[in-house]
Structure 1
Amino acid sequence: MELTQLTALSPIDGRYRKKVEHLDEYFAEYALIKYRVLVEVEYFFFLADQKFFKLPLKARHSLRSMLENFSIDDANQIKLLESVTNHDVKAVEYFLKEQVEKAGVGQLKEWIHFGLTSQDINNTAIPLSWKHAMEHEYLPSLINLQNMIYSLATQWKDIPLLARTHGQAASPTKLGKEFMVFVERIHNQIELFSSIPYAAKFGGATGNFNAHHIAFPKKNWVLLGNKFVEDILGLQRMQFTTQIEHYDSLAAHFDALKRINNILIDLCRDIWTYISMDYFKQQTKKGEVGSSAMPHKVNPIDFENAEGNLGIANSLLEHLSGKLPISRLQRDLTDSTVLRNMGVPMGHISIAIQSLEKGLSKLILNEQAIKADLENNWPVVAEAIQTILRRENYPNPYEALKDLTRGKQKIDKIAIHQFINSLKISPALKKELKAITPSNYTGVNPAY
């Protein structure tokens, strides 16, 4: 069968294709080829700029135009060359030599891929495409999600909410503050993620500029390699490498993504639970159904979809971060096929973030249920009462409240106030204690 949304093996290329097609520019085979071409051309220009040869301006413009207009047809031409060479990077080299011929400077074609091994191209092209994907797609989408959560936190900042620790009623909080927990966690992880460098390898067959140095021993190839990778490509060149990059920084990116995904899974599960407690209703759409058998169902499918996709992404990221930094001696080939799967977890993450945004946009606050839950849990003010009694040096206040509230069937406002009336304290202190309710015993947090 031909590849369609119905025949694709992976749902990110089938069912969810429209949600992830924007990632083609960074992770598809076409993208890898395009970024390889970019690095090769920029290196060719760099050598010309360093006076290794003279490149006429017209030829430079011709090659720059080819690069800027690189198309699927160009990539297909390279794939045809690869069918002969059985080597993907060599096919790029041969393609570019043809382009140099077309630009009228065929005598310069051997400066294409000069002194390089394929990993000098792969270990710059891949981190560059990764960098662009993070900066142009992933981080903006994550920040948009964070802003959406912050907007809800601001909207609900004054809504008192019964907290639950160990699944049991606990000291009340504010709904907005609970959303701010996730805003802060995401912010902190973005800061950590942004501090990780985009590392690259560029140094010849085994990392020592052997071919470069033997051809031009008086040139400072370490300095030139640094200048090309850092100033031209905007990456950070590792100084001591084998044939391949260490992948330690890339692994750190994957681990950071896993942490962020875990935070989002935590958010999905919290909101799922709030929906199950009826704290939130969900907007419905005409024509949609929640169950094939139960007409009343409005399931929290967006949060479930997000959680599932984040879990798949984490499984893949775990393998990527664990495998890539390990390579036998100066290089084995296991990294090559693994690196081709970098876009798969990013596809699942993209689907998850879109599902989360959709789910959050459908939430309808059910204040009545939230207030009822608070009113049904008066024992949570016991902490407040015993703390004030401690302040007043009242004997054994914790124990007194424990005997009143722990494990009892029904402790309501009347029972609490009867207990307060039984205390041998001043009328003013009794009034202070009676003013405490589950709805106003919510503490304090920084302004936001």
Structure 2
Amino acid sequence: MPTDSADSAAPVTTTQRATLADITPPIALGPLDGRYRGAVAPLVDHLSEAALNRERLHVEVEWLIRLTEGPVVPGAPTLSDAEKAYLRAIVTDFDAAGIAELGEIERVTVHDVKAIEYYIKRRLEAAPGVLGEGTVLPSAGELVHFACTSEDINNLSYALMVQGAVRDVWLPAATALTDQLADMAREHAAVPLLSRTHGQPATPSTLGKELAVLAHRLRRQLRRIEGAEYLGKLNGATGTYGAHTVAVPGIDWPAVSKSFVESLGLTWNPLTTQIESHDWQAELYSDMARFNRILHNLSTDVWTYISLGFFKQIPVPGATGSSTMPHKVNPIRFENAEANLEISCALLDTLASTLVTSRLQRDLTDSTTQRNIGPAFGHSLLAVDNVSRGLRALAVNADLLAADLDANWEVLGEPIQSAMRAASVAGVPGMENPYERLKDLTRGHRLTGEEMREFVQGLGLPDDVTRRLTDLTPGTYTGIAEQLVGEYLD
């Protein structure tokens, strides 16, 4: 403790602070692994470094097993069901201890895929202790990574990782959010809403129809993402099966490769350089980015409806909206979603544009780029979670919606001048210049319902048309908006 009063009054310098980098357990550098971990944790099983290594083990093990079937490689041992189960347990049992062991091996090899090979060979050597001395697994060591380049393993691993992340985590969350939005659209399909085009009062719609438009847009992107292809290849150092055909001639290696890739649940790419071309990834990430941008549009629209008072936010007991203004309930879920969607799109756009290019037969730009797939998905998933939670905390302010409509009778200028045009075509006299007459009446003017009805009654329209227009109000001038939600949302 300082004893000198001058020392105690001096500002603390950065060198006097505790070093946060040395704290155990390690402190996350990024928010996805820190503050927002709970919302994105399911992606760790698919897009983390450990998940990448687990998929590498999976691909290597399945390739080893495939080579023994037939066998593809003459002289390869025939594996029993117990031996195949032992090999597959290398993948299913990959845990914290396995991660640490693999890390130790990689510190020696300074090569991540070679470390995978050695990790599996250790298990082959240890097999007699589990399966008995009669096991043939120790003799299968040279089948591990047979005729493979690292990219043969990596491209299949990434395809499996991304496929799992999309199908098991991101797509269910995005679909649930879109269904939640669609439910809101149905619930409020008949609630009149004064539209605003260019920020100005415009032809009324319904709240449900406007939400349905966004749900419909999101669903279209989800259908594209659901139909995504996940491509893979296993054809050697430059895509020629060079090592395969020299080591074991006479085998239809493309057929072996195709059946193996398809056995993993992927689509086989027959023509590649050393790398699988990643075009499928660019296509997928572009679709995901488009979903993000539509969700961003939803977030800004809902934020605007909140600011107009159309939506009331349901306060969370004990929560603070503002550190100084007690009355506030800030729309933070939608603001956080906006920011995370922008970050996700920036990463997805970079992935999509970078991954489609590789110099000649191979460069390594894709290696570090693909390690950012997790953050790209994570920020999108976090935004989906924020929007979902934000929507659940909204209540419609029907009274304010009605008052907003009642204050803007001039929006009926559109149907009145359209009815006059139709009457003119039908031969009704005195219907000249309908647009101009309504423009003079309404532009820059606030009208009451009584003033609008008096105008209509003085036009000389047929009685049925006059009656229809005098009965019309801004709140009933919503066309078939409710019907559109019911018929086309699904």
302, 308, 312: which one pairs with 1:277?
A: 308
2:65 maps to 45
Report SS of the residue matched to 1:392.
helix
Q: Does the 8 A contact of 2:40 with 2:378 survive in 1?
A: yes
Q: How far apart are the structure 2 equivalents of 1:6 and 1:354? A: 26
Report SS of the residue matched to 1:329.
coil
2:8 maps to none
- Please show how residues 220-369 of structure 1 align to structure 2 within 5 Å: 220-230=252-262, 232-369=263-400
2:227 maps to 195
Q: How far apart are the structure 1 equivalents of 2:325 and 2:50? A: 46
2:459 maps to 423
478, 481, 485: which one pairs with 1:442?
A: 478
Q: How far apart are the structure 2 equivalents of 1:3 and 1:192? A: 44
Inter-CA distance 5–304: structure 2 relative to 1 (3 Å threshold): farther
Quote how far apart the aligned CAs of 1:389 are: 1.4
Q: Does the 8 A contact of 1:280 with 1:363 survive in 2?
A: yes
Quote how far apart the aligned CAs of 1:64 are: 2.1
1:28 maps to 48
- Write the letter of the residue equivalent to 1:85: T
Quote how far apart the aligned CAs of 1:177 are: 0.7
Q: Does the 8 A contact of 2:241 with 2:253 survive in 1?
A: yes
Larger displacement relative to structure 2 (258-267 or 314-323): 314-323
Quote how far apart the aligned CAs of 1:2 are: 4.1
Name the % identity. Answer: 41
Asked if 1:94 corresponds to 2:130, the answer is: no
Q: How far apart are the structure 2 equivalents of 1:429 and 1:310? A: 49
Q: How far apart are the structure 2 equivalents of 1:234 and 1:136? A: 14
TM-score by length of 2: 0.89
Q: How far apart are the structure 1 equivalents of 2:26 and 2:394? A: 32
Quote how far apart the aligned CAs of 1:283 are: 0.8
1:141 maps to 173
Quote how far apart the aligned CAs of 1:386 are: 1.1
Q: How far apart are the structure 2 equivalents of 1:3 and 1:127? A: 35
1:374 maps to 405
Report SS of the residue matched to 2:33.
coil
Quote how far apart the aligned CAs of 1:427 are: 3.8
Inter-CA distance 5–379: structure 2 relative to 1 (3 Å threshold): farther
Inter-CA distance 66–429: structure 2 relative to 1 (3 Å threshold): closer
2:7 maps to none
2:16 maps to none
Q: Does the 8 A contact of 1:198 with 1:235 survive in 2?
A: yes
Q: Does the 8 A contact of 1:23 with 1:133 survive in 2?
A: yes
Q: Does the 8 A contact of 1:163 with 1:169 survive in 2?
A: yes
Inter-CA distance 6–164: structure 2 relative to 1 (3 Å threshold): farther
Note the aligned Cα RMSD (angstroms): 1.4
397, 402, 411: which one pairs with 2:439?
A: 402
Q: How far apart are the structure 2 equivalents of 1:407 and 1:106? A: 88
Q: Does the 8 A contact of 1:5 with 1:14 survive in 2?
A: no
Asked if 1:212 corresponds to 2:253, the answer is: no
- Please show how residues 58-69 of structure 1 align to structure 2 within 5 Å: 58-69=82-93
Structure 2 unaligned residues grouped into runs of 5+: 1-20, 129-136, 425-430
Quote how far apart the aligned CAs of 1:428 are: 3.7
Cα displacement string for residues 372-418 of structure 1 (whole angstroms, at most 9, x for unaligned residues): 0000011111111111111111222111111111122x212122112
88, 97, 100: which one pairs with 1:73?
A: 97
- Write the letter of the residue equivalent to 2:449: K
Give the greater-gyration-radius structure (CA): 2
Report SS of the residue matched to 2:62.
helix
Structure 1 unaligned residues grouped into runs of 5+: none
Report SS of the residue matched to 1:172.
strand
